[in-house]
Amino acid sequence: MDPFPDAVPRSLHQKLRTAFVGPQLVAFLPALMLGAFWFGGEGLLLFVALIFPAALVLGGVTGTSDRRERWPADAVTGLPLRKSLLGHLERGLNRARRGIGHDPVCIVLAIDDARQLRARHGHVAADHIMRVCADRLKGMLRPEDLVVSLDYGKFAMALRGGKRMDLESVIAITARLQDAVTQPYSVDAARILVTASVGFVLPSRAPSQTAEGYLLAAENALEAAEQSGPGSIRAFSASMHRPRASTAFAADELVNALENGEITAWFQPQISTDTGELTGFEALARWIHPQKGQVAPAVFLPAIQAAGLLERLGEIMLFQSLTALRNWERAGLKVPNVAINLSAEELRNPKLQDKIRWELDRFEIAPGRLTLEILENVVADSGDDTCTRNIAALSRLGCRIDLDDFGTGHASITNIRRFDVHRIKIDRSFITHVDTDRDQQDMVAAILTMAERLGVETLGEGVETPGEHAMLAQLGCDHVQGYSIGRPMPFSDTASWILDHAGKLPQAFPLKKPA
C-alpha cells in the first residue's frame, strides 16, 4: 500500500484546493471582480472582495498544515520510517483497547545480505531492487496496513488485526510477502535473485502491549530467522525476548568504530595462585564512543555479531594483542602469554589457521605465547568439521587452547582430550562466594580434581574479593583473573600495572597451595 492510505484522493484534493483557494487565484482576481460587478452589481462585488482574500489565507494555512503532517521518508524507497510505524501500531493498539478493533500484527522482512547487492551489482541496481521490493510489499497489503523502511533492505509492516489473525494465517501471509519480494528482479536485461528472511509477532505473544514492544519482538524474531539461514520465517516466542542490543547501532557506525580505532583491545591480568606472578593477559574488546563514552560489551558485541563483523573484530584483536606482546618484550617487561577469544564464526573460517600462523610469523612470536579461548558450548556443539579441524590444527601449531566458561555447557572429557585443551576457565557462577558457600567449594573442588587427573591447568575467572582468591588458591586452582587482581585496562596502562604488581609480590605473595 501507499505510505498514506488516502494518497490518491488526497492528491486530487490538493489539486482542487490549489485551483480554487491557492495563490494562483491572484492572477484571475481582477477579471473575477469585473465579472462580479458586471453581472451582479455592487452586492456581488462586495461578496467577492470579502470571500476571496479569506480563501487565499485558508489556502496558505491548509497548505502549510499539510506539509507539516507529512512524515520523513526513506531516500531510496520513498517509504515512511520507523516513527510512522510506531504511530500506526499505537493507534491500532488504542482502538483495540477501546473495543473497536483487534490488536495489530507486526512483521519485519529483510533482504538477506542486502548491502552485498551494492558490492556485487552496483548501488544503482541495488537501489532499484529496493524500490521494486518496496512497491511489491505495498501492492500486497490492504489500504489500512502500513509498510515502512527500517534500514537498507529491511522493511516493517503493521497489519490490522482480526479474529482470524492466528499463527497459521499470519505464517501464510508472511510466506506470500516473502514470495513476492523474492521474485526475480530485472536490471539491465539481467535477472537478479534474492532471498528474504521474515520475523513477526502475534498480539498474544508480544512481550508488551506497546508499539515499541511489538517492533522489538518482530526484530528479535527476524534475527532468529536470519540465524537459521537465508529465507527463514520465525514467529516471536518468549525465549527470544531480550533488551534491544543488536539494533542499538547501525552497521555503518560499527564498521567506522572498528576501522577508526574506537574499538580496541584492553588487557586484564591473569596471575599464578602459587607465586602471584603475572602469567598473562586476556585481550577484551572495549569501545570508547566519541559521543556516548564507553559502551558496554553486552551492548555492542551482540550488535557486531548481528552485523556480521565478528571476524573483522577478531582480526583487530589478534593484531593488537600480538603488537602488545612485541612492545612488552621491547620494553623489557615479562608477559608470558596473551589470550584472545575465538567466536564460532571465526572457527568456521577454513583459512583461520593460515591467518593466525601468518600473523605469528610476521610478529616473530612463538605460537605458545598465544592462547585461544573457546567457549565450552562451541566445543560441545562442534559438529562442524571446519571448527573441529581449526581447533585441532591450532593446537598442533603450538597455540594454547583455553576452554572458556567451563561448567556452563556440556563439553565432554572426550572433547577436552580431543582438542588438547591446555586450561579450563571455571565460570564466574562457580566462583561467586566460593569462600563462604560450602556447595560452591565442593563444585569447584570437583572440577579441579577432574582437571588434575586430565593434566589440564585451571583458571578461576571473575574473582572479585581477596577471600575468593585465597579459597581458590587453597583448593588448588592454578590461576586467577578478576577485578580483585586487576580490571581490564588500555595497553598504555599495562606497563605501570606490571611494575606496580611486581613491586608488591614480596609482601603479598605467594599464597601457597596445600602440599
CATH of the domain at 261: 3.20.20.450
Q: Does residue 269 share a domain with residue 222?
A: no
Q: Does residue 156 share a domain with residue 49?
A: no
Q: Does residue 138 share a domain with residue 35?
A: no
Determine if the pTM surpasses 0.85: no
For strand 457-461 and strand 479-481, is the pairing parallel, antiparallel, or unpaired?
parallel
With beta carbons less than 8 A apart as the criterion, state whether 366 and 325 touch. Answer: no
> How many CA atoms within 13 Å lie on the side-chain side of 488?
16
Tens of pLDDT, residues 443-497: 899 999 999 998 999 999 989 889 999 999 999 999 999 988 999 999 999 999 9
Q: What integer pLDDT is reported at residue 376 of this predicted model?
A: 65
Three cell numbers written together for 458: 585451571
Q: What integer pLDDT is reported at residue 36 of this predicted model?
A: 55
User: Exposure string (b/e) for 467-502, b if CB count within 10 Å is 16 or more?
Assistant: ebbbbbbbbbbbbbbbeebbebbebeebeebbeebe
Identity of the residue numbered 405: D
| Domain's final residue, options 33, 68, 103 | 68
Q: Is residue 514 part of a domain?
A: no
| Sequential DSSP letters for 443-496 | HHHHHHHHHHHHT-EEEEE---SHHHHHHHHHHT-SEEESTTT---EEHHHHHH
Q: Does residue 466 share a domain with residue 416?
A: yes
Q: Is residue 431 part of a domain?
A: yes
Q: Does residue 191 share a domain with residue 46?
A: no
Residues making up the chain, counted from first to last: 515
Q: Does residue 168 share a domain with residue 31?
A: no
Q: Does residue 209 share a domain with residue 147?
A: yes
Rounded Cα distance between 132 and 115, Å, is: 16
Q: Is residue 60 part of a domain?
A: yes
Q: Is residue 506 part of a domain?
A: no
Quick check: helix, strand or coil at residue 442?
helix
Range of the domain at 55: 7-68
Q: What integer pLDDT is reported at residue 410 of this predicted model?
A: 54
Q: What integer pLDDT is reported at residue 514 of this predicted model?
A: 46
Identity of the residue numbered 68: R
Hey, which bits of 355-410 come out as E strands? 370-375, 400-406
Three cell numbers written together for 389: 579441524
Q: What integer pLDDT is reported at residue 17 of this predicted model?
A: 47
Rounded Cα distance between 442 and 458, Å, is: 16
The secondary structure element, H or E, covering residue 338 is strand 338-342
Q: How far is CA 25 from CA 41, 60, 379, in A?
A: 21, 12, 78
Q: Does residue 345 share a domain with residue 319?
A: yes
Q: Is residue 426 part of a domain?
A: yes
Residue of 72, 220, 242, 240 whose CA lies nearest to 156: 220
CATH code (residue 158): 3.30.70.270
Phi, psi of 461, deg, nearest 5: -105, 155
In the chain, how long is the greatest CA-to-CA distance? 121
Q: Is residue 76 part of a domain?
A: no
Averaged pLDDT, groups of 10, the chain, 515 residues long: 34 45 50 57 57 53 41 87 93 89 94 82 90 96 95 95 84 94 88 90 87 91 82 83 55 89 96 94 94 82 86 95 97 96 86 93 96 78 70 93 72 70 87 86 92 93 90 95 93 96 77 46
Q: What integer pLDDT is reported at residue 162 of this predicted model?
A: 83
Domain count, the chain: 3
Q: Does residue 440 share a domain with residue 292?
A: yes
Q: Does residue 57 share a domain with residue 21?
A: yes
Tens of pLDDT, residues 364-393: 999 999 999 988 666 665 555 678 888 989
| Domain's final residue, options 202, 219, 240 | 240
Q: Does residue 184 share a domain with residue 114?
A: yes
| Domain's final residue, options 215, 240, 265 | 240
Q: Does residue 489 share a domain with residue 350?
A: yes
The secondary structure element, H or E, covering residue 148 is strand 146-151
Q: What integer pLDDT is reported at residue 14 of this predicted model?
A: 43
Q: What integer pLDDT is reported at residue 16 of this predicted model?
A: 46
Rounded Cα distance between 36 and 8, Å, is: 35
Three cell numbers written together for 501: 604488581
Q: Is residue 357 part of a domain?
A: yes
Q: Is residue 41 part of a domain?
A: yes
